[in-house]
Amino acid sequence: MFINGEWVDAIAGGTFAVTNPATGEEIGRVPDGGPDDARAAIAAADAAFASWSATTPFERADVLLKAWQLMNSRADDLAKLMTTEQGKPLRAARTEVTYAADFLRWFAEEGRRIGGEWLPSGRSDQRFLTVRQPVGVVAMVTPWNYPISMLTRKMGPALAAGCTLVLKPAEATPLCAKAVFDIFVEAGVPAGVINLVTAEDPKPIGDVFTSDPRVRKLTFTGSTAVGKLLAGKAAGALQRVSVELGGHAPFIVYPDADAENAAKGAAALKFLNAGQACISPNRLFVHASQADAFVGTLTKRVGALVTGNGMDDGVGVGPLVNDRAVAKVEAQVEDAAAKGAGVPIGGHRLTDGGLDRGHFFAPTVLTGVTPDMVVYREETFGPVAPVVVYEDVDDVIRMANDTPYGLAAYVYTESLKTALSAFEALRFAIIGINDVNPTSASIPFGGMGDSGLGREGGHEGLDEYLEVKTAGISLR
């Protein structure tokens, strides 16, 4: 763990194993921190806040730009580490490292524009001045599915704003977190400003984060259940909260869409990270007139995907995070099949050729999916593309919106009117229009409803770490 500028063991001395999800092999051990470690990390962040928040935005930007350069120069090694620890194919890991580094450059630039306003008053002898200041110590809890970019998306803006922080990474991917901390340390982040606590059991750490009055903001990315739990606890200390949670993205193919292009997009998007992404489509609404063409191309593309160890050439789909994840996907597919869904491809675990040592599920297409199936309602987080055929164009937005989640949605149409009407009517915060990658450091990312609170990236991502302070000034 990294506390107050030192790499340290857990106070209680324990460690836990990190394993490769493709092979089951142990690839490292990290300290198993507890509440006392979390409190020591918060104390360090609290002590460092006065001096770090007093640095200029220009100095902080220089540190972030150095970290951006270091991350890019180490991209190949970071990608190999990520593939070994998290499982995604090496090329996808490489792409994630670039995306992760982009947040550091973006927030270095945004941080230089932290300013205030000079505001009018109804009194001729009064003026108002606002400034934006860092919120204070930030506690961060991050997931395993994007184990580097989900860190920089929080640490970049927090550091640019002048906050200090304590981060607890997912227990499945602490080695990527350590590698990110190495970069910040080398880039010149002073002792105490960033602190890393690793733990096999996240709950006691979460309890300390959400009850310690020195923590002024909690930022979390992960499941909706845990996000709600932590946001509820953080309310007790009135901490500012950002939570980026689950999704159940609709992917709408309109009658006038290029069905083949849409199917290619769906195949590329759905199986990214083996479907373990909060913006992964979970209901593919395809108009009846397009269904044969769409399902034909989708199934062909899925049939061409190679599943295996992400380090091997040509592999496009890696393992799932653990066996629980495989069992959940399997149960959703069995439920759908039992209720009448077709399974033109996939639908089962993969065990041949040594894959039984890891956690693999075959890329799967489900057809004839209906609202009574679990997959229609619950997030899958796995390599399953559920196709729902619809007839009534006027009803498809209602069907798409029929979920408590509100993160990403996708629309395929050749009509500007249809696209923009859907963009306005979909109750989701990120909409891909004939586009399967609506993500960038420069845009606000986050969800509505059960998908969360707050935005990361864009200029909104920096506001999450700033307080606005106002002065009323008398000229009398």
Active site residues: 244, 278
Nearest-approach distance from CB 199 to ligand ADP, in angstroms: 8
Decide if residue 141 touches ligand ADP (CB under 6 A).
Answer: yes
Nearest-approach distance from CB 171 to ligand ADP, in angstroms: 5
User: Residues binding ligand ADP: what is the number (CB under 6 A)?
Assistant: 14
Choice between 135 and 230, CB closer to ligand ADP: 230
Distances 197 to 200, 205, 207, 214, 217 between C-alpha atoms, Å: 10, 8, 13, 16, 17
Nearest-approach distance from CB 379 to ligand ADP, in angstroms: 9
Rg of the Cα trace of the chain?
A: 23
Choice between 78 and 245, CB closer to ligand ADP: 245
Choice between 83 and 145, CB closer to ligand ADP: 145
Decide if residue 447 touches ligand ADP (CB under 6 A).
Answer: no
Nearest-approach distance from CB 142 to ligand ADP, in angstroms: 6
Nearest-approach distance from CB 361 to ligand ADP, in angstroms: 16
Torsion of CA 255, 260, 261, 263, to 10 degrees: 90
Choice between 171 and 330, CB closer to ligand ADP: 171
Rounded Cα gap, residues 20 and 357, in angstroms:
10
CB-based contacts of 383, cutoff 8 Å, min separation 6: 270, 271, 274, 275, 307, 317, 329, 346, 361, 362, 363, 364
Decide if residue 34 touches ligand ADP (CB under 6 A).
Answer: no
Decide if residue 170 touches ligand ADP (CB under 6 A).
Answer: yes
Choice between 143 and 346, CB closer to ligand ADP: 143
Rounded Cα gap, residues 120 and 122, in angstroms:
7
Query: What residue ranges in 197-267 does DSSP mark as E strands?
Result: 215-221, 240-244, 249-253
Decide if residue 222 touches ligand ADP (CB under 6 A).
Answer: yes
Short-list 237, 242, 241, CA closest to 213: 237
Structure tokens of 171?
A: 């227990």
Sole window of 36-44, 224-232, 348-356, 436-444 interacting with ligand ADP (rule: CB under 6 A): 224-232
Distances 408 to 142, 186, 280, 411 between C-alpha atoms, Å: 19, 36, 8, 10
Decide if residue 386 touches ligand ADP (CB under 6 A).
Answer: no
Q: What does the buried/exposed string (b/e) look like for 296-331 if buried means 16 or more CB atoms within 10 Å of the residue's CB?
A: ebbbebbeebebbbbbeeebbbbbbbeeebbebbbe
Decide if residue 434 touches ligand ADP (CB under 6 A).
Answer: no
Decide if residue 174 touches ligand ADP (CB under 6 A).
Answer: no
Choice between 11 and 229, CB closer to ligand ADP: 229
Nearest-approach distance from CB 455 to ligand ADP, in angstroms: 19
Decide if residue 171 touches ligand ADP (CB under 6 A).
Answer: yes
Decide if residue 226 touches ligand ADP (CB under 6 A).
Answer: yes
Choice between 206 and 265, CB closer to ligand ADP: 206
Asked if 31 and 201 count as a contact pair (C-beta separation under 8 A), the reply is no
What stretch of H or E contains 131? Answer: strand 126-134
Choice between 222 and 458, CB closer to ligand ADP: 222
Q: At CB < 8 A and 24+ separation, what contacts does 432-436 make? A: 432/408, 434/257, 434/261, 434/262, 434/265, 435/265, 435/410, 436/265, 436/266, 436/268, 436/269, 436/410
Sole window of 123-131, 222-230, 337-345, 416-424 interacting with ligand ADP (rule: CB under 6 A): 222-230
Rounded Cα gap, residues 77 and 94, in angstroms:
9
Decide if residue 284 touches ligand ADP (CB under 6 A).
Answer: no
Nearest-approach distance from CB 450 to ligand ADP, in angstroms: 13
**Closest CB to ligand ADP belongs to which residue?**
206
Nearest-approach distance from CB 297 to ligand ADP, in angstroms: 31
Among 118, 122, 203, 417, the residue binding ligand ADP under the rule CB under 6 A is: 203
Structure tokens of 448?
A: 């509505």
Among 34, 143, 346, 449, the residue binding ligand ADP under the rule CB under 6 A is: 143
Rounded Cα gap, residues 423 and 409, in angstroms:
9
- Tell me, what amino acid is at 369? V
Decide if residue 202 touches ligand ADP (CB under 6 A).
Answer: yes
Rounded Cα gap, residues 379 and 227, in angstroms:
15
What stretch of H or E contains 324? Answer: helix 323-338
Decide if residue 142 touches ligand ADP (CB under 6 A).
Answer: yes
Nearest-approach distance from CB 110 to ligand ADP, in angstroms: 26
Decide if residue 252 touches ligand ADP (CB under 6 A).
Answer: no
Choice between 273 and 367, CB closer to ligand ADP: 273
Sole window of 58-66, 94-102, 137-145, 463-471 interacting with ligand ADP (rule: CB under 6 A): 137-145
Asked if 168 and 141 count as a contact pair (C-beta separation under 8 A), the reply is yes
What is the DSSP code string of 255-302?
TTS-HHHHHHHHHHHHTGGGG-STT-EEEEEEEGGGHHHHHHHHHHHH
Structure tokens of 151?
A: 């860190």
Which residues of the shown chain bind ligand ADP in the complex (CB under 6 A)? 141-143, 168, 170-171, 202-203, 206, 222-223, 226, 229-230
